[in-house]
Chain A
Amino acid sequence: MRLVLPRFVAHTRRGLPTLTAIGSISLALAGCGPARDPGCLGSASVQCVPPPACRAVRFACSTSGAARVTRITTRTQRPAGLDALASIGDWVLSNDNVTVVIDDVSPPLSPNATTAQRVAHNRSTHTHHLAPSGGTIIDISPAGGTDHLNQIYQITGIVPRDALHYTSIESRQEGDVAVVIARGFLDVSTGGDGRMLVTTRYELRPCDPGVRVRTEMYNGGRVAWSSYLSDAWFLGDRSQTPFVQGRGLGFRHPELMLTNLDVSLVRTPYMAASSHVGEDTSYATFSCTEPLMDGVVDPTIVAMGLPRSYVAPGDGLVFERMIVASRGPGLGALEHVMAARRQLFGEPIASVRGTVELPRGLGSERVASVVFYEPAPDGSDSPTEITVWAEAVPDATGAYRVSLPAGRRYRRQWWRLGRPFGAPETFETPAGDGATVELGAFRPPPLGTIRASVTINGEGVRGQDAELVLVPVDPSTASSVRGSVYGFFDSERCAPYLGPTHGGSPGCNRVLVRGGTTVEFFAPNGTYWVYAHGGPERTIARTMVTVTEGAQQTVSLSLAQLRVFPQESMSADFHVHSGRSFDTSFPETDRVLSFLVNDINLIAATDHDVTTNYAAALVALGANQRVFVQPGVEMTPLIPSQRIQGASLPRTVGHFNAWPIPFDDSLPRNGAPWDELVQPGELFDLLRPIVDRNVGVMRERTGVIQLNHPYAGSKIGRDEGYFRTIRWNPTTPVPREFDPAAPPSLLVYRPGGADGNRNVDFDTIEAMQGNELLENMRHRQGWHGLLNAGHLRAGTADSDTHSLAVEPMGFPRNIVIGANRQRYNFVTFNALVREGSMVGTNGPYVDAAIAPSGSFEAGSAGPSVRSPIAITASARLRIAVRAAPWIPVEEVRIVVNGRIARSITDGISRPTDPFATVGLDRYAGEFSLSELGVTADSWIIVEAGLRLPTIIDSDNDGLFDRADFNGDGVANEEHPAAPRAEDPRFHSNVIVPGMWSWGFTNPFVVDPNGGSWEAPNR
C-alpha cells in the first residue's frame, strides 16, 4: 500500500533517510544488495529521471551529429515501409544511423463520454496492436532503409493485465543524447494492478545503431508477483523470421504454449529477426543486465527479457537492453550485438569474411545465404545439437562478413532457394579478440532460370496480367525442390520454391507477370508444369519445362478471356491484406498486380487494424480505372478482455471488416479506430459514424460492416471468429432478448447501451473465406443459422488473401449483380452488397431468379435479404450455372431453410478439355417452389460446384468437422488429399490449392402466405 496516513507520512518522511540508510546497510551486510542502479524504481514523480541504459556500451561512428528527439508534425515524417505506423504526435528518436518511433500516450476516455467523443477518441488514440497504451516502439528504420517492425512493447507476464500501460510520456535532450520516458503501471483495464509502477526510458546516443531501453517495474501492490519483465516483439507471423542463438536453436524454437511457459522458454544471449521482402531490415536485441535472456519465440510473437522473477511488494526489477537495426537482408544487426557484448561481457570476437560468386542480377541477395554454427558435441550436424551463431546474406558484390566468438570451431552452410546447398565446411576462429578469418571465394554452380511471358486474347479482354504457377510434373520429386525460410513459413505448396512464401513475386511457387512484359526468375533443377491463369473468367494454359543449372528456359503461354459472369456485375473481394497488415509482408505493388491478374474490379482494403488505399501502387501500375478500392479495415481485437460464460479465459471477439474508411495517414492507424476491449456492438457504434455518410441532409447507411469467418479458430489465445467466441451452435435459435445465461443471446445484446448497436447488427457475413471446404461449411452453417433465426444478412465470399500462394487473390470472390464498372458509385455498390445482390464463388457462377407468379415473362426477382418476395403457389425458380472449363461442376443444390431440398447431378455438362474456351454453360433448369416444399415463409439459396462429400458433426457441437473426402465410406478426414492428374480437381487445385469449386447465391426470402415473414427457427 502506498503511504496514505498523513501524520505517519510526516513522521516517516523525516525518518526516511534513516530508514533508507538502515535498509541499504542491511542489504549490503546481507550481500544481496542491488548490483545495479535502482534509478527511479517506485517513483511516480516526473522529477525522477531514470539513469541511462547500457552505460558500458559505446558505438563509434564517423559522423558527429547529435541524437535528436522530436515529435511528428506532418505525415511525411513517417518512416518508409509498409509497417510504419507513426502518425502526428508520436515521438521520434533519431541519429545518423537510425530512426525510432514511440507512439504517443493518449489521454484516457471519460467513462461518461458520448458516442461522438468515443469515436473521436478511438480514432485519435495512439495505441497499437497488443499494447494497452502508447509509449511503445512502433517503428525502427535504419538510415536509408525501411521499417519492418510491427511493435515492441513491454510485459511482465503472458496475460493482458501483465502489459505495461503508460499514462504519461515526456522527452529530454541530455546534451547529444535523446531521451523519451514513459511512465505508468500495469494495465488496469484488463485487471492489472495500478500500484505496479513502471517507467521506461528510451534513449538514443549519436552513434547508436538502435535504441537503449531501461524499464523499471516496482511492486507497490499487496501481493507478491511472478514477473517475466520483457519486451514483447509482435512480429505478427509471416512478416519476419525470428532467430535465437543457442544450442538446438537458431532458426528453430520450442513451440509457444502460453499455458505452459516452461516448455517454451529458451535462454539466449541475443535474439534477432529479419524481414524477407523489399528493402530489408534486420533487428536484434541483447540484455545489458544479464548475459542471457529468457525468451519465448514464435513467428507471431517473441518475448525477450529477464529471467522470471519473484517480486515482493516494495521491491522491483530493472531491465536494460538495446534494440538495434541494420539495413539489408539477413541478420546484419547481429554485428552490433557482437560488438556490444564484447564490451559488456568481455567476449572476444573474430571477424569472418568471404565471397560468393553470385548469379547475374535477378535479386541475387535472396538467392544465396550462409549460416554459421558450431557442430554438435559429437561432431554431427544434428539440428537439435548444433549451436547456430549467425547468418549472412552476401551483398551485391557477393561479399559477406560476420562476427563470431573467437577460439571456436564452426561450420558454414550455404542456402539457396530455400534449401541447404552443398556440404557444410569447417573452419576455426583463433583465440583472442580482433582476429580476421578469410574464408575465400565460394563458386556454386549457376542456377537455372525461366523467362516467361503471357498473353490474353478474346472479346472484352481487360488486361494482359497473369500469374504463373509451377508444380513438379512428377509429384514425388516435390520434396526435393520444396523450400522455406530456414524452416519458417514452410508449405507443401512451395515446390518448387521460388521465393519467400509471404514475400512478393516470385513467392512460393508463383510468379506475377505484368502485361506486356517478360519475367525472368530462378528455379531449382527439375521438370515442371508451368501454368498460367488470370482468374475464373479466363482459360488456363500450361507447358512443361525442364530447368537445369546455368540454362535458361523460355515459356510463352496464351490465355483467353471468357464470359462467365453477367455483363452488369462487378467482381469484388471484400477481404484483402497487404504488407500493411501485421501478419504479412506482401508488397502493395504486387498486391495491386494480383487484383489485375485475377480481374478483380473492386476490393475492400482490409488490412488488420490499419487503413490502406493502395493509391501509390494503383498509380504505379496505371490501374486506377481497372480496380476500385474502398479503403477499409479488418478490425482485429488482440487483447483478450471479454468474459464469455463457460470460457475459462477472457476472449477477443473475432474479426470484422468495415468499409469505406477515409484514408488519413496523419491519424493513428491511418484513420481506423482502436478496436480493443469492446464487444461487436460497441465496435459497430464506433464504425457506423465513420463508414456511413451524409446523403443529402440525412445520415444514411452507405458503408458495410461484415462479420468475418464466423467460426474461425483462435491463434495464440486470440479468437478470430465471433460465433466461435460465443460458442453459438448454429442449429439453436437466438433468443429475442438478451439473457446472460444464454450465450447465443449475446447476438441481440446491445453492449453500448439501449441506443447502441446489437452484436448482430453487422451488414454481411463471410459465408465463404479462402478455400478450406470444412471451414467454409462451418461458416455456411453460421450464415444459415442466422437466416433461420430471422437475422437476414447478406453472405459474402472472400479470399482473405495474405500472400500469393497461401490464399490466392479473388478465390473466392463476390459477383455483385447490378453493379457497373462504368457507372461505379460506392453508395450504390455498397447498397447492393448489403442487400445481398451477390453470388459468392470460387469459380462457378449461379444465375438464379424466382418468378413469384410462375411466369418469368411476368417478372422475376433476384436474391435479396432486403425484403421478402411475396409468391404464389405457382412460383418457380430458374437456375443457370456457368463456369470456365477448368472449374469442375458436378452438382447443383437447392437449399431451403438450411437443408438441401434438391441435389441435382443429372444434366450437368462437363467440358472434356479443361484448357478449352468452350463449354461454359453447365446447367439450366427450372423448378416449382411448391415441389421444393416451399409452402411457408422460407429462404432459398442455390449452390453449384463439386459434389459435397459426406460431412458430419462428430462432436455434436452443431458444426461440421469431418468429411469423407476419400470416398471410403467413413467421414474422418479434415482435408481432401491432393488430386491425381485424372481427378477433375487437378487443374483447379494447382491454381487454387485446396479449392472445392463452389458458388452460391444470396437468399431468396419468400413469403407464400402474406403477412409478416416469420423466420424458420425463431
Chain B
Amino acid sequence: MNRRSLSAALLLTLTALASQANAQEIMLSGPLRGGEAPDPCVRQRTAPRAPIEIALGIPGAPALGALGSSPSACRYLGFSVGGRMGLLIATSSFYGAIDAEAHLSGAVPIGDARDSWIELSFDAVRYRTVINASVVTAPIDMGAATITVNHIVASDETVSVSLFGRVLLPTELGLRYAARLGAEPGMSIVWAPHRKVSLHGALSLPITATVSAANTLFTFTPRATLDALWHPVSPFELGAGIEVRGGLDGFEYFAPRVALRAHFARVAFIDLSAMAPLFGLERQLARGALTYGMRW
C-alpha cells in the first residue's frame, strides 16, 4: 500500500467516523441536552466541558496525534480540525526546530451504557523543519494517529472521573528505518463546583517505542495536568493550568498553559491554547494550537 492509498484509507475512516457521529448525535441529543439532572460535563448553550487540549508528544516528536494530551473526563460526540505549532530555538547550539500540523480528531460514544467513548486523533499533514547550523531540512508528510478509548468510572453531580487508554498508531511517513508505536494509559477528572468554573485534572503514562532493526528507542514520560476553566461571559471561556512531566532522562518540564475558547451555535467552539515548557530537559520554547470543532 503506498502513501496515497493509505491516505485514502484514513480519509475513508474519518468519513465513516463522521457518519457514525451524525447517527449518534440523533440518538444522544435528547438525554445529553435535556439537563434534567446536574452534570459536571454539561453547561448550557455550550459544548461539553473539556480541559486545555494543547499537547506535547515526546522529546524529539512534539506532535504525535493526541499522545501527551489530557482528554476530557466527559464523554462527547464531536469532531475538530485545527492547526498546531511548536517552536524550539537553541541559539547557542546553532539549533532550531519548528513543527506544524494540520490536526483532525473525532470522538464518538460507544456502548449502550453511554459512559464510554472512543476518540481518533490524527496529524493529517505535518510540516517539520530542523535547523542544524546551516543544514536545514523541512519535510512535509503524514503524521501520527492515536486512538483513545475512554470510560467513565465514577461520576456525580459535580465530578466525573474517567480512565482512558490510548494507542499510538505507526502511521508516520517520515521514518526511514523505523516505526513508532506507543501507548498512554491514564485517568482524567473534571470537577465543576460552579456553573462557570470547572477544574480538570489528568494523570497519564505515555510510552513510545521507535523500533528499528537493531535498536528500539523508548520514551516513558509520566505526566500530570491541572487546568482551571472559567466561563466569565458568554461566549468566552478562559483556561489556565499547568503540566508537570518527568521521564527516563529526568525531569522533563513544568509548563504553564493557557486557553481562550469561544463557544457559539451551542455545540461549536474555537479554541486557542498555548503552553511553554520550563525548568526541565525539554527544549521546546512554546507550543500553540488553534482548533475549531463541534461537540455534543
Which residues of A are in contact with B by a Cβ distance under 8 Å? 1-5, 8, 12, 16, 19-20, 22-24, 26-27, 29-32, 34, 38-43, 45, 48, 156-159, 162, 191, 197, 218-228, 258-262, 308-310, 312-318
Contact = CB atoms under 8 A, between A and B. Distances in A.
Top 7 closest pairs, chain A to chain B, by CB: A314-B210, A42-B215, A23-B179, A26-B170, A23-B211, A43-B214, A313-B60
A224 B97 contact: yes
Interface in B192-237: 209-220
A647 to B, nearest CB: 12
Contacts of B128: 224, 310
For chain B, the bracket of interface size reads: 35 or more
Given A158-B135, A223-B97, A259-B134, A20 B249 contact: no
A156 B132 CA distance: 10
15 contacts: A19-B209, A23-B170, A31-B1, A156-B132, A156-B135, A157-B132, A158-B134, A162-B135, A222-B249, A258-B133, A310-B174, A312-B178, A314-B215, A314-B217, A315-B210
Nearest to B211: A23
A638 B269 CA distance: 58
B292 interface: no
A48 B248 CA distance: 26
Given A32-B3, A158-B135, A226-B132, A12 B213 contact: no
Nearest to B219: A1
B210 A313 contact: yes
A27 B170 contact: yes
Given A19-B216, A29-B1, A224 B177 contact: no
B248 A4 contact: yes
B174 to A, nearest CB: 6
Contacts of A222: 59-60, 249, 281, 283
A1018 B249 CA distance: 51
A308 B135 contact: yes
B15 interface: no
Contact of B179 (A24, A309, A318): A24
Contacts of A308: 135-137
Nearest to B142: A30
B134 A20 contact: no
B95 interface: yes
A459 B281 CA distance: 78
The winner among B97, B172, B213, B214 for most chain A CB atoms within 10 A is B214
A267 B174 CA distance: 22
B2 interface: yes
B61 interface: yes
Contacts of B172: 312
Given A4-B248, A31-B2, A48-B214, A223 B171 contact: no
Contacts of B174: 310, 312, 315
B285 interface: no
Contact of B61 (A158, A191, A312): A312
Given A226-B137, A313-B210, 11 more contacts: A16-B211, A27-B170, A224-B130, A227-B137, A228-B135, A259-B134, A261-B136, A312-B175, A312-B180, A313-B217, A318-B177
Contact of A226 (B136, B169, B217): B136
B279 interface: no
Contacts of B137: 226-227, 308-310
Contacts of B169: 26
Given A1-B247, A23-B178, A224-B97, A261 B135 contact: yes
B131 interface: yes
A41 B213 contact: yes
A259 B133 CA distance: 8
Interface of B: 1-3, 5-6, 59-61, 88, 93-95, 97, 128, 130-139, 169-181, 209-220, 247-249, 281, 283
A158 B136 CA distance: 11
A422 to B, nearest CB: 43
B180 A314 contact: yes
B134 A312 contact: no
Contacts of B215: 41-43, 197, 218, 220, 314
A226 B214 contact: no
A898 B179 CA distance: 69
A193 to B, nearest CB: 10
Contacts of A43: 214-215
B218 A30 contact: no
Nearest to A264: B134
B59 A316 contact: no
A32 B1 CA distance: 9
B133 A157 contact: yes
A24 B212 CA distance: 8
Contact of A162 (B132, B173, B210): B132
A27 B171 CA distance: 8
A interface SS class: loop
Contacts of A315: 174-178, 210, 212
A699 B27 CA distance: 97
Contacts of B1: 29-31
Contacts of B59: 1, 222-223, 313
B135 A226 contact: yes
A664 to B, nearest CB: 38
A312 B64 CA distance: 12
Contacts of A220: 215, 217
B135 A30 contact: no
A147 B139 CA distance: 41
A29 B142 CA distance: 14
Nearest to A40: B214
Nearest to A159: B133
B3 A12 contact: no
A400 B135 CA distance: 41
A222 B248 CA distance: 11
A558 B117 CA distance: 103
A20 B213 contact: yes
B30 to A, nearest CB: 41
Contacts of B216: 3, 12, 16, 19-20, 314
Contacts of A1: 59, 217-219, 247-249
Contacts of B219: 1
B251 to A, nearest CB: 13
A316 B247 contact: no
Contacts of A41: 177, 212-215
A975 B217 CA distance: 59
Given A261-B135, A309-B137, A22 B177 contact: no
A12 B212 contact: no
B176 A317 contact: yes
Nearest to B95: A223
Contacts of B220: 5, 8
Contacts of B61: 224, 312-313
A22 B181 contact: yes
B178 A316 contact: yes
Nearest to B60: A313
Nearest to B2: A31
A158 B133 contact: yes
Contacts of A27: 170, 175, 178-179
Nearest to A260: B134
B179 A223 contact: no
Contacts of B93: 191
A334 to B, nearest CB: 28
Nearest to B58: A313
A562 B204 CA distance: 91
B209 A159 contact: no
A82 B242 CA distance: 65
A24 B238 CA distance: 44
A828 to B, nearest CB: 50
Contacts of A313: 59-61, 210, 217
A227 B176 contact: no
A2 B59 CA distance: 12
A509 to B, nearest CB: 39
Nearest to B218: A3
Nearest to B91: A648
B248 A5 contact: yes
B283 A223 contact: yes
